Amino acid sequence: MPVYLVAAYAVFWGLTFVLVFSIWARQRRLERELEALKKAQPSDQ
Amino acid sequence: MNRHRDLPGLILALASAVAVLTALGMVFLYAPREATMGDVQRIFYFHVSSAWVGFFAFFVTFLAGILYLIRGERRWDILALSSVEVGLTFITMAVITGSLWARPVWGTYWTWEPRLTISAVQLLIYIAYGMLRRAVEGPERQARFAAVYGIVAFVTVPLSWFSIRWWRTIHPDILTGGGEMTLTPRMVQTLLVSLAAFTLLYVTLLRQRIRLERFADALAALKMTK
């Protein structure tokens, strides 16, 4: 199989993974922020 | 917002995965080997599909920009921003896979012919969208600026589309059958399945990106009330 063909499909999977991972990582960060906010709430009241 | 409760998102993601794997199976097992270029022509199916999704994503940003300017609603700004991010990923994919296809066929990774030049400019313009957006202060000014930018930047899509018809170029035109490639019925079917799979993947990723932005908004609002 030509190396260019393998490389092209690797680029597809790689970039799709980067986008999915980036969205997931940002979502996790926001969830952690939300958790921290929830934990801080009882001490505020 | 709980990501574990997102059943429609899960169904969409599964449907996208099945569609992309089906397209991949067709590319390698169903579509015939092209006579002139050989197996390297199989790059074509995902290259064209990623370019299509990139163009479509920028069209969505263009429409969302117009709707934001008319209605001033944050949801249109979120849609425009999310679509640029997903579209940029697919256009990058199209440019890189195009280069990898060009190397064995044209003998070079890159040449400054009209379609490739416009693609490079388009890529830079949409990378700048995010950077310039962050440079503007105030959420409303930021959204208004981004809406106008997204509308103006869209000019690169028809320019890129028509560049292979308006100017002398070595880039193949699959619609008119120009260039060195002729599509057989099996090739056309594989291309159509790939286009559908990529469109579904775009919808799935866009939906997740929109949810992320809404989550960030809700969290920011919650912080403001503290």
How far apart CA B149 and CA B143 sit, in angstroms, is 10
Q: pLDDT (tens digit, 9 = 90+) per residue, B127-165?
A: 999 999 999 998 899 999 999 999 999 999 999 988 888
The alpha carbon of residue A32 is apart from the nearest alpha carbon of chain B, in Å, by: 11
Among A14-18, B7-11, B167-171, B209-213, which stretch is predicted with the lowest mean pLDDT? B167-171
Q: Which two tokens stand for residue B1?
A: 């917002």
Q: For the stretch B77-91, what's the b/e string if a residue is b when 16 or more beta carbons lie within 10 angstroms of its beta carbon?
A: bbbbbbbbbbbbbbb
Cβ-defined contact of A8 to B46 (cutoff 8 Å):
yes
B134: Cβ contacts below 8 Å, ≥ 6 apart: B142
Cα dihedral across residues B23, B29, B30, B34: positive or negative: positive
Cβ-defined contact of A37 to B97 (cutoff 8 Å):
no
ipTM of the complex: 0.87
Q: Which residues of chain B lie closer than 8 angstroms to A40, CB-CB?
A: 226
pLDDT band at A45; cut points 50, 70, 90? very low
State the pTM of this model: 0.91
Percentage with pLDDT > 70 across chain B: 94
Give the per-residue pLDDT at B195: 97
Percentage with pLDDT > 90 across chain B: 75
Half-sphere exposure of B89 (CA within 13 A, CB side): 24
> How many Cβ contacts (< 8 angstroms) between chains A and B?
71
CB atoms within 10 A of CB B12: 18
- Contact predicate B125/B58, CB 8 Å: no
Average model confidence (pLDDT) for chain A? 89
Cβ-defined contact of B89 to A16 (cutoff 8 Å):
yes
